[in-house]
Each structure stands twice: as C-alpha cells, then as structure tokens.
Structure 1
C-alpha cells in the first residue's frame, strides 16, 4: 500500500489543491488519512479508483 502526499495527488489527478479539498467536502473524493500531527496522505489505490470511476462515467455516454 502506498500513501500519496498532496503534491502527488495534485500531479496524479491534474486537479488543484482547492478543488481536491472541495471534492472531499462534498464527499466526491477519497478522504485523506491522518499520518502524524498535521500530515495527511491519500491511499494510492483509492485515488486511482476515483480516476477510474471518472473514466467509466465518461464512457457511459
């Protein structure tokens, strides 16, 4: 299991930091996992699954 920090999530998704947090707030993006103190990370497989779901949604049209 690999943990991605915010910069890696931004690079992987192509989304801005503010957009990622907005999507988290609306329940549309995987929530981060607390690591230590103020550090958080995202589980890579969850981020990849979110991207895949976007591709599948696109292909349904």
Structure 2
C-alpha cells in the first residue's frame, strides 16, 4: 500500500503535458497562405463561389476577436502542396 501511495503522489506532482495550440491572427493567416483577408472570409462563407469546406474555421476568442489554429492552417497548406503532384 505504501508503494501505491508513493506512485499516486508522484503522478499528481508531475506537470501536465498538455500542448497549448498556437493561435494565428488573420494577419498571419494572410501572410502564411498568400491569400487576402477578403478571400479567406469568402472561403469560409457557404454562399460564396469561393467557398472551400477544407479551409480551417476560425475560433472566436472574444467579442470581435478571432484566430486560427496554427496546425490546422499548416495542414491545409501542406494538403495544397501535396495536391499539385496528383
């Protein structure tokens, strides 16, 4: 029982290994993708002829503030790069 309590105590004292996703503001998404902010918002608008269901959806951080998950933007860019070989 003493060993079990020691293991429980060790596990609870270890720092969390939670990865916090990096968030990108629109300006950086524009920079990384080479798209304009108008094009990005058109790609998110289902009524637009530029609508792209594969484009990452922004996350509302607060009233009037949105950002995109960096890994999702990177994955979208990598998918576009890979698609040129097919």
TM-score, normalised with respect to structure 1: 0.91
- Considering only aligned residues, what root-mean-square deviation do their CA atoms show, in Å? 0.9
Quote the offset at 1:55 in angstroms: 0.6
SS of residue matched to 2:56: coil
Segments ≥4 residues shifted beyond 2 Å: none
Answer yes or no: is 1:38 the counterpart of 2:64. Answer: yes
* C-alpha separation in 2, matches of 1:46 and 1:15: 16
More contact order relative to length (CA 8 Å, sep ≥ 6):
1
CA–CA separation in structure 1 for the residues paired with 2:28 and 2:42? 17
Structure 2 unaligned spans of 5+: 1-20, 46-50
Larger Rg: 2
Unaligned runs of 5+ in 1: none
Per residue, is there more strand in 1 or in 2?
Answer: 1
> As a proportion of its length, which structure holds more helix?
1
